[in-house]
Amino acid sequence: MNITRNNVDALNAIVTIELAKEDYQGNVDQVLSNYKKNASVPGFRKGAVPMSLIVKQYGKAVLFEEVNKILQDKLNNYLVEEKIDILGNPLPVSNESFDWDADVLKFDFELGLTPEFTLDLEGKNKITKFKVVADDAMLDEQVEFIQKQYGKLVSKEAVEETSDLVGTFTNEEEGINQEATLPVTAFRTKTNQKKFLNKKVGDQVTVSTKGLFDDDHKLMEYLGLDHDKVHGLEVDVVFTIKEINETELAELNQELFDKLFGEGVVTSVEQLKEKIKEDAEKQFAGQADQKFVNDVYEHLLAETKFDLPAEFLTRWLQTAGETPMTAEAAAAEYAKSEKGLRYQLVEGKVMSQYDLKLDFEEIKAYTVKLIKDQLAQFGQAEPDEKTVEDIVARVMTNQDEVRRISEQVMNDKVLVLFNEKVSAKEKEVSYKDFVKEMYGE
């Protein structure tokens, strides 16, 4: 057996595998011998069928199968041993004049090679690293939310300015049929708010989605739409009232503070706001970090230039799925997936260029911390170590959980790297403004 490689260019190569009869004939003979032992052919006892008849009936099929097994095994081993990074899978080169009776069988395979490139994390950029703060307006909203959450719900016969509505938004043409709970004050204009006043259960109110709320993103929540659809949406929706409620706000007293945070932890409204601010900004920090990581990747994707074996990948896509694609369909699919492929290559290069690796102990330690944090939320601040170990052991047997945790640990490593290497402008914003930055507005 002989394997050679010819690099057509930096992104394409041909691997040639030559098999002599001694490379595969023993395997073929063994399989045919097993067929002979078990073959049932009329006129012959089981196991007494002449080998010539077995070869005539099964020889070619067995030859094809055994040669294919050897080819797959040898090609895969060759790629690993030679450390050849490829995109897609090797494509066999068609040869209409191939002779299966030749002394040496010669097979060619096309390879799409992974492009070589380097990343520059320390170069110039326009990346902003956001610090999200809980401003006074948000803290007041959160305090009122808590008061409503722990307040008393009172049913009303007719809608008032302070009412909370439960109902369904519908628009058949747009496929909208979404139940929502929202206060009358959620509607941005007084004109729309007045449409609901004095309405009763069962009544319907028609409103336009244009400027319906103070932020178009609320259409995602209240109408059940995705992000791309809500911007510029201007259709009428019908809101059918199912419930009209009024919330008597809970009193901001020590009983409520103890219920929220434990006895004596918070003793005043000022401390309550400080606690809300602290917890909210921890959550915001995680979201801001993720945006920073995403923005760095987008910057690298835009600034790092490299070619791909586009023609090879398009032909590979034609045969990669369960159903073969036409050349036109494969070209369209490649065009759609090219950015995602480039993104994956940039992610992989970050890990290889900066030697970011994971080991089992890191994953396990992160899982231990995760479990302890979760137990603490349920009042077990100092859980028994045996209990933690048992839970961790169960988690580590779940491949999906291990994959998810591994991705998070690697994401944390990438964040540390980007914070160290990337020179970004820092900007302090409210959460409302951060949401606008998140969605490019």
Give per-residue pLDDT as tens, 70-85.
Answer: 999 999 999 999 999 9
pLDDT in tens, 171-203: 999 899 999 999 999 999 999 999 999 999 999
- pLDDT reported for residue 257: 94
pLDDT above 90 for 95 = no
For residues 80 and 32, membership in a common domain is answered with yes
Mean pLDDT within 237-261: 94
Are residues 232 and 283 located together in one domain of the fold? no
Joined together, the tokens standing for residue 411 give: 């994401």
123 falls within a domain = no
Give yes or no: residues 244 and 273 share one domain: no
Same domain, 173 and 300: no
CATH number, domain at 235?
Answer: 3.10.50
Task: Specify whether 381 is located in the same domain as 420.
Answer: yes
Whether the per-residue pLDDT at 292 is higher than 80: the answer is yes
Q: Is residue 91 part of a domain?
A: yes
Q: How confident is the model at residue 440 (pLDDT cuts 50, 70, 90)?
A: low
Q: Is the pLDDT of residue 283 over 80?
A: yes
Is residue 416 a part of any domain in this protein? yes
Q: Which of residues 216, 248, 280 is at a domain's end?
A: 248
Asked if residue 202 and residue 286 are part of one domain, the reply reads no
Q: In terms of domains, do 281 and 378 share one?
A: yes
Q: What average pLDDT does the segment 240-255 reach?
A: 94
Give the predicted TM-score (pTM) of the model: 0.74
Same domain, 427 and 346: yes
Domain stop point among 49, 82, 113: 113
Q: Is residue 124 part of a domain?
A: no
In the structure, what pLDDT confidence band is assigned to residue 215 with cuts at 50, 70 and 90?
confident
Q: How large a percentage of the chain has pLDDT more than 70?
A: 100
Residue 39 in this model has a pLDDT that exceeds 80: no
Q: Does 255 map to a domain?
A: no
**Once rounded to an integer, what is the mean pLDDT over residues 119-146?**
94
Number of domains in the chain: 3
Predicted confidence at residue 204, as pLDDT, reads 97
Tell me: pLDDT of 441 over 70.
Answer: no
Per-residue b or e along 320-357, where b marks 16 or more CB atoms closer than 10 Å to that residue's CB: eeeeebeeeebbebbeeeeeeebeebbeebbeeeeeee
Domain annotation covers residue 254: no
CATH number at residue 34: 3.30.70.1050
271-284: average pLDDT: 94
Interacting residues of 163 by C-beta distance below 8 A, sequence separation 6+: 156, 183, 184, 196, 244, 245, 246
Tokens of 118: 């380097």
At 380, the pLDDT band (50, 70, 90 cuts) reads confident
pLDDT above 80 for 38? no
In this predicted model, which residue has the larger pLDDT, 127 or 383? 127
Higher pLDDT, residue 229 or 202: 202
The Cα 85–Cα 69 span in angstroms is 22
Per-residue model confidence (pLDDT) at position 332: 95
| Average pLDDT over the chain, rounded to an integer | 92
Q: Is residue 85 part of a domain?
A: yes
CB 108 within 8 A of CB 98: no
Residues 273 and 244 in one domain: no
Q: Which of 113, 136, 170 is the last residue of a domain?
A: 113
Q: Is residue 211 part of a domain?
A: yes
**pLDDT of 297 over the 70 cut:** yes
Name the residue range of residue 49's domain.
2-113
Q: Please report, for the domain that includes residue 309, its CATH number.
A: 1.10.3120
* Same domain (yes/no): 282, 395: yes
| C-beta separation of 228 from 219 below 8 A | no
**Claim to verify: residue 104 and residue 234 sit in the same structural domain:** no
Structure tokens at 239: 């809101």
pLDDT at 381: 72
What's the pLDDT score for residue 232? 81
Shared domain for 283 and 422, answered yes or no, is yes
